[in-house]
Structure 1
């Protein structure tokens, strides 16, 4: 082993987390003696995580994203930084950094929501500061890019998603994050941008005849599982912000309308897409696709009024989905790229979404900790091996289209630069911290497994 590799392994252990560069086999530190382990060791840490370990790992993710996401405007034609904003430059853009993260995108929208949630759960303001710096940067430079549009017309790039969005990907996840920041008092006033995104989602995005958000490309009149998250949480948070019932009604209609087309009761899973022109097409159960659905339903239920007449229908759908996906967790704690296909690779972003949603539903009292607690814990144990010493999240699949064959899904690349894994990892870690601190149950290691034992009279944290 080279000195460099030795240094990497030593550093990862010093940071107190299992690096993807130093994976198992792992022994259970909760076991009182070696016989408690049975005859072998585990491929991931089969043990209760500690709050300091999780918090430190999330801090590494935050710091990595901070390092590789410079707040800088450049001329894409020359690569030089723009510092004079008195005259619009047609080729101006945000420097997207070493990992191509940008500042306004659906991936960053999930990151911002994850940072805000991590700040709330850990009390560490550095997570919220990450969001505030970027939202302040947006507010400061938005007038300049509006001037660019006024002079040259629509240009591709981050700021134009805030000025003239053209899809749910441009608007939904970012709208959700900006509303949440506004409600939390983080960052500047971006109400004008919220209004732009809300107008696109409510009035301009293509919909089916019953009002369900849909796409026209690459398949006409198609519903994607991805759009559960791109649409439903934004609608719900707009209701939360304004108090207007119409937003909640639209969010619920979409959650149930998408479920009617995508949920397969025979498997308990969501297929990735559905097309009105080919409603009987084969089902492909893509991990992150279903991950979007369960996270979105959690987000909706978090803010949906208790007296909403269709709240129980949404809750029943979430429970059915979580019951379905829980059965497909692999023996490593991960879920597969194609949930129902054990020969497809183990994938990080979907695993993070399922871990978050299951833990969140437990913490909210929607599902049983006795049944689901060990599943969420095992999910985080797996995820902890995918945060490397530098804070990079490894093993997430890159952007994935709604496809018509398994071969495409099976062969999508994974890369630490796939930003889709970072926001879900932040959400999952923060929720597992709450799970570990939840006074409604005790976590016991008995009989070589973990038992989540309810405490009588204890109320779960909200």
Structure 2
């Protein structure tokens, strides 16, 4: 890291991730200005922590944050928000303006001046669309722009209209009636909790917090496999889907990333749920049950987790990056926050080291890659996804998916504390 000290009225040349130069005049003495590009000429310095190395690599691959999901044009979707969660924490830690500018650029690009959200359609009631609201909560807190407040209010109104099961769990999407997916807890509940903390008061806040905790209670009741402690990818209350068990309504497999989403949902919601809310104790108990189950299916040799968690030896199964990063993040954050005892740290550390050894590659220019990420997996739709083992192991695999790089940055930050 280069430390530069300069006098009044100098020109500062900053190399942006796009390769262009930004020239600015300074009118005061500047000391300890950190530069991201070392004299060796590497795009990503190798002497930084893994968290920064991965974020800088993502910024190199995707010069604007809306590109993070391999998007060709600006689109309101959820993976960007996971990487930007890491960027927020790295900005707080390092003070490097390039990280803040990367986050801010996402809001500027996706939110119109009247507060409308580009490509977002409220009437679809897709719970995935709430996740990027976390970025707007951050930007509104920092910048107080009216357009972000209006966009946040629109997203919050989706929660009021989101269809629910008979007992009150959110459907994953309007086009997936009566279906509760583990993914949805991460997509919706941290946003719902954070928004409530920032904007809702009194009995309305209490009702919202109760509703949020209920979503986890309902999932534990309806999607948990009591034998293994793992949770199925989804549950169809109507039992009408071809993928649903006709007696239980459950999908047939334990998909790694679905479990990963659920773990991240629990630890992130606890950041905003009041300390005195009685539901905290229950969620923490769910985290312990979850961690115990996840550690049982961890590959004890590599430290990694499989695409289909409980079938490591079956043909086609593989150690998958996003689920592995999510489990590591959930466990190490839970240890750091006191939700789990220190004894759980060993499994998280083994998983983290396994990711670095087996799934990370570094290019000659210093750019870091995370390999073996499942691109996408779901249930139903067209063409129909049947939730079979063969379905999960044959979905596309790619490198540097935000659903993996984001959790890797977050896990790295927890280890760097």
Deviation at 1:314, TM superposition (A): 1.3
Deviation at 1:282, TM superposition (A): 5.5
- Structure 1 gaps, min length 5: 1-9, 17-51, 73-93, 147-157, 435-462
Count of matched residue positions in the alignment of Structure 1 and Structure 2? 349
TM-score, with length taken from structure 2? 0.75
Matched, 1:160 2:160: no
Q: Is the 8 A contact 1:135 1:188 kept in 2?
A: no
Deviation at 1:392, TM superposition (A): 3.0
Which residue number in structure 2 is paired with residue 426 of structure 1?
409
Matched, 1:132 2:89: no
Find the aligned partners of 2:128 and 2:207 in 1 and give their Cα distance: 22
Which residue number in structure 2 is paired with residue 276 of structure 1?
237
Deviation at 1:107, TM superposition (A): 0.7
Please list the CA deviations of residues 160-182 of structure 1 after superposition, one character each: whole Å capped at 9, or x if unmatched: 21x64623345221112322343
The verdict on how the C-alpha distance between 1:383 and 1:99 changes in structure 2, with shifts beyond 3 A counting, is farther
Q: SS in structure 2 opposite 1:388?
A: strand
Deviation at 1:102, TM superposition (A): 4.5
RMSD: 2.9
Which residue number in structure 2 is paired with residue 66 of structure 1?
59
Deviation at 1:363, TM superposition (A): 0.5
Please list the CA deviations of residues 170-217 of structure 1 after superposition, one character each: whole Å capped at 9, or x if unmatched: 52211123223434x26845111111111112x222211222111367
Q: Choose from 229, 252, 268 the match for 1:299.
A: 268
Q: Choose from 285, 307, 323 the match for 2:254.
A: 285
Q: SS in structure 2 opposite 1:207?
A: coil
Q: Is the 8 A contact 1:292 1:353 kept in 2?
A: yes
Deviation at 1:15, TM superposition (A): 5.5
Find the aligned partners of 2:311 and 2:93 in 1 and give their Cα distance: 35
User: Which range is displaced more, 273-282 or 399-408?
Assistant: 273-282
Which residue number in structure 1 is paired with residue 140 of structure 2?
182
TM-score, with length taken from structure 1? 0.69
- Structure 2 gaps, min length 5: 1-39, 240-247, 380-385
Q: SS in structure 1 opposite 2:309?
A: coil
Find the aligned partners of 1:267 and 1:11 in 2 and give their Cα distance: 50
Find the aligned partners of 1:125 and 1:430 in 2 and give their Cα distance: 18
Q: Choose from 325, 332, 339 the match for 1:366.
A: 339
Which residue number in structure 1 is paired with residue 290 of structure 2?
321
The verdict on how the C-alpha distance between 1:423 and 1:169 changes in structure 2, with shifts beyond 3 A counting, is farther
Deviation at 1:227, TM superposition (A): 0.5
The verdict on how the C-alpha distance between 1:322 and 1:124 changes in structure 2, with shifts beyond 3 A counting, is farther
Please list the CA deviations of residues 202-239 of structure 1 after superposition, one character each: whole Å capped at 9, or x if unmatched: x2222112221113677541110100111211111112
Which residue number in structure 1 is paired with residue 35 of structure 2?
none
The verdict on how the C-alpha distance between 1:11 and 1:335 changes in structure 2, with shifts beyond 3 A counting, is farther
Deviation at 1:424, TM superposition (A): 1.2
Q: Which has the higher contact order (CA 8 A, sep 6+)?
A: 1
